[in-house]
Amino acid sequence: MSVNYDYSDTPRIITPPPGPKSREYMEKEKKLFFAAWYTNKDVPLIMRRKYGWTIEDVDGNTYIDMVTGWASTPLGAGYEPVIERAIEVLRESGGIECTDYVTDIHLFELAEKLVEISPPQLTRVAPDTTGTEAVEAALRLARETTGRYFIITFHGSFHGGNYGAAGAGPTSPDVTRGIKEYIHGFIHVPYPTCYRCPLKQTYPQCNLACVDWIEDVVLRYETAPETIAGVLYEPIQGENGIFIPPDGWMERLHAMGEKYGWMMIDDEVQTGFGRTGKMFAIEWWPEVAEKVDLMPLAKAITGGALPIAAVLGTDEAMTSSDEIYLGGTFAWQPAACAAAAAGIDALYQEDVLEHVQRLEKISLERMKAWIDKYEIVGDVRIKGLYNAIEFVEDKETKKPAPKITREIHYACIRRGLILINEEDIWWLRMLPALNMPEDLFVRALDILEEAILEVSRKYGKGVK
């Protein structure tokens, strides 16, 4: 990679986290922020700065960063070509402009790049600010285009935190708390979470019964196909633990959508821009990539600089109405557009997609072996640098092990590695920067395995 950072002493733990300064700030959190912000703190430290592939806390500890702003800093923190471009255009544009009223020149560069790199039928762009808003914009466009009401979505998916997007994606009851009773128009169906099939089937003997569920149950008992505007899906389910659809599922789903005239909404907010080893995850299914109608984008589109999001869509979806209002004051600020365009250029110039596939090979060879080696490792799911490891009490029953997972999470932090784990969840996720050096990536896997071994021994779980 062309931009170098010194990570030779990473991780470095000076004082066990949370250190005294972190604890001081964490006490302030309890007085300044709303309760859900600080309750059951998932990462017990306060960050002072980020650089490259590392996080430094206020106590001087440095950690390997496997969170990367929830996949929003795809080239590592402070990637200079992106940051410098953002600063340059921030000064040039004078700061904030409401670009849906006064259109800035930098919007055109980004819009043209997005259309160029996306499936060919996606020819127009709807600017937005966050992934949640992009999803809600796509839902409105689908309903406006078809004149229909219902949207089919999937159990375990996450599409955002606002009313519409949260109602669409029932990852867990807490996400829809105080929302579900007010939001209608979604029909939820099983996603192919094959390790934990909700229909108690086994692939491929199941013949993809979860797809048949839509016609056999939803269209038979709930509503007619002509009331359904579209299908909103994650090409790979992220927050639910990186579930990758098996062969045939995506093709069958799109064939059904084509049969009934449904708009297919491919939510690439977390999987887009190289995370899975392709520019967009849907490209792993070339038979359907050119059948997507709407594609919400966010997170890695930023290049790691400023918030920005978008919806890509077909001419039909984007021109069915000229009265629908999307976006807002902060959508597509000039500096954010320029930074995003620079980040897209870097993905190609730095051969990032090829690098992702090299790191994927390392993680597949290393982490898949843990399934047989450790009693508590139930499953490992990897696509590019979209990785999850699921922990169980025992392999036969697959009983979830959230307490064990939490202890492994904290054992990693004590060693200087920050992954993604939330309370009552029994899997760890890794979202490293797409250009993380190979030796640092291996160092992170070493730390993770050390933590798994420590907790396995503590609970008397088998290690081969």
Which domains are present in the chain? 20-65+352-458 (3.90.1150.10), 80-349 (3.40.640.10)
Task: Select the more confidently predicted residue: 315 or 1.
Answer: 315
Tens of pLDDT, residues 52-99: 999 999 999 999 999 999 999 999 999 999 999 999 999 999 999 999
Q: What is the mean pLDDT of residues 308-318?
A: 98
**Helices 402-415, 438-458: inter-axial angle, 10-degree rounding:** 130
Q: What are phi and psi of 188, to 5 degrees?
A: -95, 135
Beta carbons within 8 Å of 423's beta carbon, 6+ residues apart: 40, 42, 402, 406
Q: What is the pTM of this model?
A: 0.96
With a cut of 80, say whether residue 130 has pLDDT above it: yes
CB 122 within 8 A of CB 115: yes
CB 210 within 8 A of CB 233: no
- pLDDT bucket at 3, cuts 50 / 70 / 90: low
CB 187 within 8 A of CB 221: no
CA atoms within 13 A on the CB side of 181: 3
| Residue among 383, 387, 396 at smallest CA distance from 448 | 387
Q: What is the DSSP string of 422-453?
A: -TT--EEEE---TT--HHHHHHHHHHHHHHHH
Beta carbons within 8 Å of 425's beta carbon, 6+ residues apart: 241, 402, 405
Tens of pLDDT, residues 382-435: 999 999 999 999 999 999 999 999 999 999 999 999 999 999 999 999 999 999
CA distance linking residue 464 with residue 461, whole number of Å? 10
CA distance linking residue 372 with residue 244, whole number of Å? 21
Tens of pLDDT, residues 215-260: 999 999 999 999 999 999 999 999 999 999 999 999 999 999 999 9
CA distance linking residue 130 with residue 258, whole number of Å? 29
Tens of pLDDT, residues 165-185: 888 877 777 777 888 788 889
